[in-house]
Amino acid sequence: MRILLAEDEPTIVVTLGDALRGAGHSVFDAPDTDTALEFLEGGLPNVVLTDIRMPGAGGMAVLARALELAPERPVIVMTGYGTVDQAVEAMRLGARNYVQKPFRNEAILAMVEDFGQLENLREENRGLRERLSEAQSIAGIVGASPEMEAVFERIRKVAPTEATVLIEGESGTGKERVARALHGASGRAQGPFIPISCAALPETLLEAELFGHEKGAFTDARRERRGRFELADGGTLFLDDIDDMPLAVQVKLLRVLQERSFERVGGERQVEVDIRVLAATKVPLQELVNAGKFREDLFYRIHVVPLSLPPLRARAGDVPLLLTHFIAAQARRAGGEPQRVSRSTLVALTNYPWPGNVRELENAVQRAVALAGDKKELALEDLVTVDPRWRGALKTSGELRPLREVVREHEVEHIRRALVETGGHRTQTADILGISRKVLWEKIRDFKIEVPERRGRS
C-alpha cells in the first residue's frame, strides 16, 4: 500500500513509518497540511494517516480533500488529548477509523492490512467486470473458455442458414438461450420465436398444442385453436426436451418436417407453414434410437447440425465471469451497487461441480442477493447450500489464481486434444477450433504445446 503519513511529531514519524515500511508498505511523510495536500493532488496514497492537529489548516482539511479526490480511500485520524470530539466529527465526515495517542503501532498495521485486503478484493472484482466486458457474449450467453468460444463460433456460422439445429446439453446449460441466439441472428429474427417443452404435456395435449385443433375435436374444444406450428409461421419453432416426445407424436412431427404442412386435430384441411425448427435434448438421442424410444428417421431429420453445450464443470474458468455477470444483473434491477465476492469464495465456487449447471448458479445468485440485505460482500454460505455428496468439492483453501491462467489451462488442454484428434494436422485442427491456422501456430508457439507426429502434411 502507498500510505501518506501526515504527522509533525518526529517520534511517531520515525517509529510508525519504520513499522509500516517493515510491513512492506511505501510511506510518504508530510510534516504539515500543505505538504499533505500536495501528496494528495499527486494521487499517490491508497491510505491516509493524519493527525488532527498539525501545522497549517490541520487534519480535517487533509481528510476533506482526501475523500473529495477518492471517496473510497481509507483515512485514519490520530488524536491527542482534548481532540476526541474532533475525531468523532471526522468519523461522521467519512474517516474510516481513529486512534488515540499514545497508540501501539500494531493497531495501525492491523487497520492498514484490513484496508489492503479490501482494496485487493475490489481490484479483483473490478478485474472480473473488465474481463466480463471483454468476454464474448451472444444473447446473454457469457463465456471466455475455449469450449464456449467454439459454441459462439458455431452459432455465428449456423444462425444465418435455414438448417435444423439439434442443441445437446445437460439441463441448465442454456439450450433455450442458444435457440434464441440462433433465431435472433437469422433472417427470421423479425418473425416469432415460439418455444414449447415436449416434457411438460401428456401425449394428447402435446399433439393439440403443436398442431392446434378444430372446434369440437374433443371434449372442451369449444372453438378453433391454432397450434405452435401455426403461431411460428414466418419464424422459428423451438422444440425443447424433444427426447421426451411420445412416439405417436414423433410420427406426425416427421411428416411436418418433410412436407411443411399438417392437419389440425379433428380437421381435414392441410395447413401450410414456413418455419425453421430448432430442437434440444438433455440426453444423447442416438442412445434413445438404439433403445427403440426415438424414431431413427426423425433423428436424422433433426440431427442436421448438432450443437453441444458443455456442462459448467467442464468450463470452470467461466464461473467467476458468470457470477460477476449475474450479480451485476441483480444490482441493475435493484438499482444498487453489485456485491463483492471474496477470493476464498471464488475458489470454492470454481471447484464446485455445479450439477444444475448455469441455471443453478444463476438461481444461487438471485437467492443470495435477495437475502443479503445491506451486506456488501456475499459469503460462500450465501451462495450455495450443497448436497453432502458435493461438500468435498467446496475447497476454500489456497489462493485464487488470475482468471487468465485458469482460462489458459483449459485452452491449452483443448488445443492439445484437438491436435491429438487430427494427428497433428494443423489445418484440420484450426478448422475444428474455429480459428485461423496463423492463430493456431501462434498459440502452439506461445503455450509451448507439443504437436503429435502428423499423419499427413498440413
CATH number, domain with residue 442: 1.10.10
Is 162 inside any structural domain?
yes
At 135, is the pLDDT very low, low, confident or very high (cuts 50, 70, 90)? Answer: very low
> If we measure between CA atoms, which residue out of 155, 157, 184, 156 comes closest to residue 167?
155
Q: Are residues 57 and 176 in the same domain?
A: no
DSSP class of 283: S
Whether 454 maps to a domain, the answer reads no
Q: Tell me how far apart the alpha carbons of residues 322 and 15 are, in angstroms, rounded to a whole number.
A: 46
Angle formed by the axes of helices 319-334 and 357-372, to 10°?
40
Phi and psi at residue 393, to the nearest 5°: -75, -20
Q: Against a cut of 0.85, is the pTM above it?
A: no
Q: What is the pLDDT of residue 426?
A: 86
- Asked if residue 394 has pLDDT above 70, the reply is no
Is residue 55 domain-shared with residue 92, that is, in the same domain? yes
* CATH code of the domain in which 375 resides: 1.10.8.60
Condensed to tens digits (0 to 9), the pLDDT of residues 328-379 reads 888 888 777 888 887 778 888 888 888 899 999 999 899 888 888 788 888 8
**Residue 396 CB neighbour total at 10 angstroms:** 15
**Using an 8 Å Cβ cutoff, are 155 and 182 in contact?**
yes
Co-location of 340 and 365 in the same domain:
yes
**How far is Cα 298 from Cα 164, in angstroms, rounded to an integer?**
12
For residue 64, tell me if it sits in a domain: yes
Q: Are residues 208 and 125 in the same domain?
A: no
Same domain, 229 and 327: no
pLDDT tens by residue, 291-300: 999 999 999 9
Which residues span the domain enclosing 21?
Answer: 2-129
pLDDT at 399 over 50: no
Cα atoms in the Cβ-side hemisphere of radius 13 Å centred on 256? 25
In the predicted structure, residue 72 carries a pLDDT above the cut 80: no
Q: Which one is predicted more confidently, 407 or 52?
A: 52
Cβ burial 120-144 (10 Å sphere, 16+ → b, else e): ebeebbeebbebbeebebbeebbbb
Return the pLDDT at 287. 93
| 57 and 189 inside one domain | no
- Decide if pLDDT at 105 tops 90: no
Could you tell me what percent of the chain has a pLDDT over 90? 24
CA distances from 270 to 189, 214, 229, 260, 441 (A): 26, 12, 13, 10, 56
Report d(CA 182, CA 179) in Å as an integer: 5
Q: How far apart are CA 311 and CA 329, in angstroms?
A: 22
Q: Report, as an integer, the average pLDDT of 385-398.
A: 56
Distance between first and last Cα of the chain: 52
| Measured CA angle at 340 (ends 338, 341), to 5 deg | 135
Say if 359 falls within a structural domain: yes
Judged by DSSP in three states, 285 sits in helix
Distances (CA, A) of 271 to 261, 264, 293: 5, 8, 28
Rounded distance between C-alpha atoms, residue 59 and residue 163, angstroms: 71
pLDDT (tens digit, 9 = 90+) per residue, 222-268?
677 888 999 999 999 999 999 999 998 998 899 888 888 888 877 77
Q: What's the chain's average pLDDT?
A: 82
Same domain? For 287 and 318 the reply is: no
pLDDT band at 202 (very low <50, low <70, confident <90, very high): confident
**Which has more confidence, 254 or 116?**
254
Show which of 279, 308, 337 is a domain's final residue.
308
Whether the Cβ atoms of residue 253 and residue 210 lie closer than 8 Å to each other? yes
Which pLDDT score is estimated for 446?
Answer: 76
Nearest of 9, 3, 45 to residue 24 by alpha carbon = 3
Same domain, 104 and 164: no
Sheet of 97-100, strand order: 26-30, 2-6, 47-51, 75-79, 97-100
Tell which of 308, 336, 361 closes a domain.
Answer: 308
Pairing of strands 136-138, 305-308: unpaired
Helix residue spans in 71-188 (DSSP H): 84-93, 105-134, 146-158, 175-184
Of the two residues 408 and 203, the one the predictor is more confident about is 203
pLDDT at 398 over 50: no
What pLDDT sits at residue 218?
65
Say if residues 299 and 325 touch (Cβ distance below 8 Å): no
* Residues 303 and 319 occupy one common structural domain: no
Residue 240: inside a domain, yes or no? yes
> Is residue 419 within 8 Å of residue 390, measured between CB atoms?
no
Of 13 and 395, which is predicted with more confidence?
13
Indicate the number of domains in the chain: 4
pLDDT, tens digit, 9 for 90 and up, residues 295-319: 999 999 999 999 999 999 999 888 8
Q: Which of residues 287, 308, 329 is at a domain's end?
A: 308
Alpha-carbon distances, residue 276 vs 194, 195, 285, 305 (angstroms): 10, 12, 20, 13
**pLDDT score recorded for residue 245:** 92
